[in-house]
């Protein structure tokens, strides 16, 4: 595979959505999750990719289903795609000025965490395929109000240049259809570390007037200005 990272601006410019695994602890901090309160709850992880959140959360008694187009592929094919993606990002991210290295320390440690996450994912993907559902937004193959909480990590706003406003709007409509509680979308900025232009438009869209949008600050920031997520609730 070729290099999927293009640095013609300040941030990483990705020529497609890349597969990078994130751990349960990263999710906990990004989304301000309280694991004890989620035990027994149904959680949907949209664009879960090769993250280990689904595997680790289910071990804790949180009923997580992960959703991603890649789950239509066998495990070996998934890893053949994700490993070059990680190496491309690893080689490029250290020179990008749009990242803060407090939590990850350096690119080597970041790669170690990403590898750990994808290894745990791969084992669970083989052992518990029922946890992983293939498909693509803006459609979800789930029943109305099936989940207590839906999480979207590093999709939608981050890829603003590749995903148009209508895709964002229709995805949120579908996410809230299957969510009886709330959805959390992280981060609220693009890979250029700029606030997403779509958030003000979503707030004003009459098709979304039955939802409430609240930006919640966190203490987790890797991509500059990524210390918040958008909470979406039924008004």
Domain count for the chain, please give it. 1
Give the mean model confidence (pLDDT) for residues 100-119.
82
CB-based contact 202:214 (threshold 8 Å): no
Query: Can you give the pLDDT at residue 19?
Result: 64
CA dihedral 141, 145, 151, 157 (to 10 degrees): 80
Lowest mean per-residue pLDDT among 108-112, 199-203, 208-212, 216-220: 108-112
Q: Return phi, psi of residue 46, to 5°.
A: -85, 135
Cα separation, 46 vs 37, whole angstroms:
20
Mean per-residue pLDDT, 7-32: 71
Across 98-102, average pLDDT? 71
Among 30-44, 75-89, 174-188, which is the least confidently predicted range?
75-89
Average pLDDT over residues 46-72: 97
Domain that holds residue 226: 5-14+22-234
Residue 7 pLDDT > 50 = no
Separation CA 159–CA 141 (nearest Å):
23
2-6, 44-48, 160-164, 176-180: segment of lowest average pLDDT: 2-6
Mean pLDDT across the stretch 74-85? 84
Residue 2: the pLDDT is 36
pLDDT at 192: 85
Q: Alpha-carbon distance 9 to 144, whole Å?
A: 41
Residue 70 pLDDT class (50, 70, 90 cuts): very high
Q: Could you give the CA distance from residue 223 to residue 127 in angstroms, rounded to a whole number?
A: 33
Residue range 146-159: mean pLDDT, rounded = 94
Report pLDDT for 1.
Answer: 31
Q: What is the CATH number of the domain that holds 228?
A: 3.40.50.150
Please list the residues that pair with 43 across neighbouring strands: 64, 149
Task: Identify the pLDDT of residue 233.
Answer: 98
Confidence at 93, pLDDT banded by 50, 70, 90: low
If you average pLDDT over every residue of the chain, what do you get?
A: 88
Mean pLDDT, residues 176-199: 94
pLDDT at 8 over 90: no
Strands 132-133 and 147-153: unpaired
What's the pTM? 0.86
Tell me the pLDDT tens digit for each residue of 113-141.
888 999 999 999 999 999 999 999 999 99
C-alpha closest to that of 93 among 15, 5, 17 = 5
Residue 148 has pLDDT above 90, yes or no: yes
Q: Strand, helix or coil at 38?
A: helix
């Amino acid at each position: 595979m070729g290099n999927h990272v293009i640095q013609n601006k300040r941030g990483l410019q990705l020529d497609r959505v890349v597969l990078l695994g994130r751990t349960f602890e990263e999710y906990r901090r990004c989304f301000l999750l309280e694991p004890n309160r989620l035990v027994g709850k149904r959680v949907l992880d949209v664009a879960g990719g090769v993250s280990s959140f689904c595997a680790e959360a289910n071990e804790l008694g949180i009923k997580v289903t992960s959703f991603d187009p890649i789950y239509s592929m066998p495990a070996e094919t998934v890893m053949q795609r994700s490993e070059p993606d990680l190496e491309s990002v690893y080689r490029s991210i250290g020179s990008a000025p749009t990242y803060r290295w407090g939590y990850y320390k350096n690119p080597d440690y970041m790669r170690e965490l990403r590898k750990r996450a994808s290894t745990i994912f791969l084992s669970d993907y083989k052992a518990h395929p029922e946890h992983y559902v293939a498909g693509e937004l803006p459609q979800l193959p789930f029943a109305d109000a099936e989940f207590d909480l839906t999480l979207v990590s590093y999709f939608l706003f981050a890829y603003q240049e590749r995903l148009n406003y209508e895709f964002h709007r229709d995805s949120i409509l579908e996410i809230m259809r299957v969510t009886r509680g709330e959805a959390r979308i992280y981060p609220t900025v693009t890979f250029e570390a700029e606030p997403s232009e779509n958030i003000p438009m979503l707030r004003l869209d009459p098709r979304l007037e039955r939802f409430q949008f609240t930006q919640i600050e966190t203490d987790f920031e890797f991509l500059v200005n990524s210390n918040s997520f958008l909470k979406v609730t039924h008004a």
